[in-house]
Amino acid sequence: MSLPAPFLQTLEGVVGFNKAAFEAVHTSGETVTAIRVNPNKNPDQILFEHTSPVPWCTHGHYLEARPSFTLDPNFHAGAYYVQDASSMFLWQALKQVVGDSHGLKVLDLCAAPGGKSTLLSSYFENGLVVSNEVIKQRAAVLVENTSKWGAHNMVVTNNDPSHFQSLPQFFDVMVVDAPCSGSGLFRKDPTAMEGWSLDLVALCAQRQQRILADALPALALGGTLIYATCSYDPNEDEHIADWLVNEMGLTPQAIDINNYPGIVETAAPISKAPGYRFYPDQIKGEGFFIAAFKKEKEVGVALTSFKSKEAVLEKLTKKMQEQVAEVLPTNDTIATFLQSGMIKAIPSVFESSILQLASQLYIKKAGVSIGELKGKDFIPAHEYALSYLPLDIFNRVDLDKEQALSYLRRAEFNCSGEKGWNLMRYNGLGLGWAKILPNRTNNYYPQEWRILKA
C-alpha cells in the first residue's frame, strides 16, 4: 500500500509523525483487532483465548487473531463490541476529566455505528446516553447495535446537530466524534485513500466547526466536551481545538498519558490546548485524535428552534400498567411509556428528561422496547430479549452454537420447550424470541438482522 504523496506532505512537521515508521506500518500488513466487553452481559466468561488488555480502557481487550464475529452468537447477544483500541481512549478521557459522577446526561452527537455510545452507556451506567445520528440509514444500524448492547439508559435520535439547540444546556457531557477525512483508517481500509483530497480535509474542517457551533448551546455550564476524529490532519484536529478555545470560549483539559507510552501529546498552535494523537506505528490501534474541554461560559449564538413532528411518548393506562406488571417485574427504578403502541422501559430518574427529549427530537429508540399489548396478549419485542432487564419470568431455551446460528439465520427451526413465547439463549444471554407451537416453532429473529453468511 503506498500512501498518497500530498497526504504525506500534510504530515511533515506534525508532532509525533515519523515518516519511515508510519509508511512501514502501512505496508506491513499488520492488523490489530480489539473488543470491548459488555460489563452487563456475563463479563467474566472467556470469550476468546489469548487476549491482552487495552491499557487505557477497563473492558478493552486485544485479540491475537481476527475471528469471524458474524459466526459468533456471543457477538449477536451483545456480549462485546468490536472497536478500534485507540477509540477506547475515550474511557480514559472520561475517567480523568469527568470522573465518576452519577446521573449525568450525555450526548453522543455523531454516533453511528455506536462504538462510542456503547462505551458511554457502560461508563455512565447511572446516567442517560443520548445517541444521535443524522443519517437515517446509519441511525438504523445504531438502533441495532445499541439494542444488542441491551442498556435501558440509552435513547437513539435521528436529528441534525442544530436541532439540539431546543435543549439549551441540557447535557453534562457531549462527545463529538466528528465526520472527518478518515486518514486514520488508511491502514485498516486502504480504499479510504481513494476519497482523500486536500479539498475534502478543508470541507471536513468547515463541517466540524458547524456541527460544534450548532450543538454547543446544548452543553451545560461546567459541562465537558470531548472532541475526536480519525484524521491526522491538524486542520481537523489542533486547529479545531484552537477554534473551540478562541471562538467558542471553551477551556482545554489535559489528560495524563504517562502510563500510556506511544500516545503523543500535542499543543494547538495558538491556544496551546492539549490534544492526543494516536499513530499506528507507535501504539496498538488505528489513527485517532482526541481532546477534552470544559464549557465555563456561554458564547452568544443565534438559536434556532426545532419541534419534532413524531408522536411523543404517552403514559400507560392503569389497566395497561397492570398487564405490563405481569411481563416486566419492575421496581421504582424503571418507568414505562408507550410510543406508537410499543411499551418502553426507561430509568425512572430520567422520565422527565426523556419526555423533554421526545418533545423536541426524532426518537428512534427510547430505553428498551418491551412489547405490545394485543387485547389480553403480550407480544414481546426483540429488544427486550437483548436487554439486561430481569427476564426470569419467561420460559427459555438454551441453545448450543449450531442451534444458535440456525436461529440467528432465521432458518427453519425446531426446539422443545414450553408452548408459547420462549427466550432463546446462548451462553446464558438472550438472542431473541421464538414461539413454540404444538407442531412447529416460529422463529421471531428480526428479518433485517439475520445472518446471511453460510
Using CB under 6 A as the criterion, which residues of the chain lie in contact with ligand SAM when the complex forms? Answer: 87, 110-116, 133-135, 138, 161, 177, 179, 207, 211
Q: Which is nearer to ligand SAM, 190 or 269 (CB)?
A: 190
The minimum distance between CB 134 and ligand SAM, in angstroms, equals 4
Q: Which is nearer to ligand SAM, 15 or 135 (CB)?
A: 135
Q: Cα–Cα distance between 172 and 325 in angstroms, integer?
A: 33
Asked whether 37 and 48 are in contact (CB, 8 A), the reply is no
Q: Cα–Cα distance between 443 and 307 in angstroms, integer?
A: 39
The minimum distance between CB 323 and ligand SAM, in angstroms, equals 37
For residue 60, what are the β-bridge partners? Answer: 36
Asked whether 274 and 266 are in contact (CB, 8 A), the reply is yes
Asked whether 211 and 178 are in contact (CB, 8 A), the reply is yes
Q: Which is nearer to ligand SAM, 153 or 159 (CB)?
A: 159
Nearest CA to 266 out of 294, 288, 285 is that of 288
The minimum distance between CB 90 and ligand SAM, in angstroms, equals 8
The minimum distance between CB 286 and ligand SAM, in angstroms, equals 12
Q: Which is nearer to ligand SAM, 214 or 281 (CB)?
A: 214
Q: Which is nearer to ligand SAM, 109 or 434 (CB)?
A: 109
The minimum distance between CB 177 and ligand SAM, in angstroms, equals 4
Q: Which is nearer to ligand SAM, 83 or 282 (CB)?
A: 83
The minimum distance between CB 160 and ligand SAM, in angstroms, equals 7
Indicate the helix (H) or strand (E) that contains 74: helix 73-76
Asked whether 367 and 354 are in contact (CB, 8 A), the reply is yes
DSSP assignment string, 231-277: ---TTTTHHHHHHHHHTT-EEEE----TTSTT-EEEE-TTT--EEEE
The minimum distance between CB 304 and ligand SAM, in angstroms, equals 15
Q: Which is nearer to ligand SAM, 164 or 444 (CB)?
A: 164
* Coil/strand/helix, residue 19: helix
Between β-strands 105-108 and 128-132, what pairing exists: parallel, antiparallel or unpaired?
A: parallel
Calculate ∠ Cα 19-192-209, nearest 5°: 85
Which residues make Cβ contacts (< 8 Å) with residue 43, sequence separation at least 6?
Answer: 37, 59
Rounded to an integer, what is the distance from CA 241 to the centroid of its chain?
23
Asked whether 405 and 454 are in contact (CB, 8 A), the reply is no
Residue 92: phi and psi, rounded to 5, are -65, -40
The minimum distance between CB 108 and ligand SAM, in angstroms, equals 6
Helices (H), ranges, 249-397: 318-327, 351-360, 382-386
Grid cell in block for residue 333: 427504578
The minimum distance between CB 215 and ligand SAM, in angstroms, equals 8
Q: Which is nearer to ligand SAM, 254 or 303 (CB)?
A: 303
Grid cell in block for residue 209: 466547526
Dihedral over alpha carbons 443, 446, 447, 449 (to 10 degrees) = -130
Residue 7: phi and psi, rounded to 5, are -65, -45
Q: Which is nearer to ligand SAM, 241 or 381 (CB)?
A: 241
Q: Which is nearer to ligand SAM, 75 or 413 (CB)?
A: 75
Calculate ∠ Cα 263-266-271, nearest 5°: 150
Q: Which is nearer to ligand SAM, 135 or 311 (CB)?
A: 135
Q: Which is nearer to ligand SAM, 115 or 217 (CB)?
A: 115
Q: Cα–Cα distance between 221 and 250 in angstroms, integer?
A: 10
Phi and psi based region of residue 249 (left: phi greater than 0; alpha: psi -120 to 50; beta: remaining): left
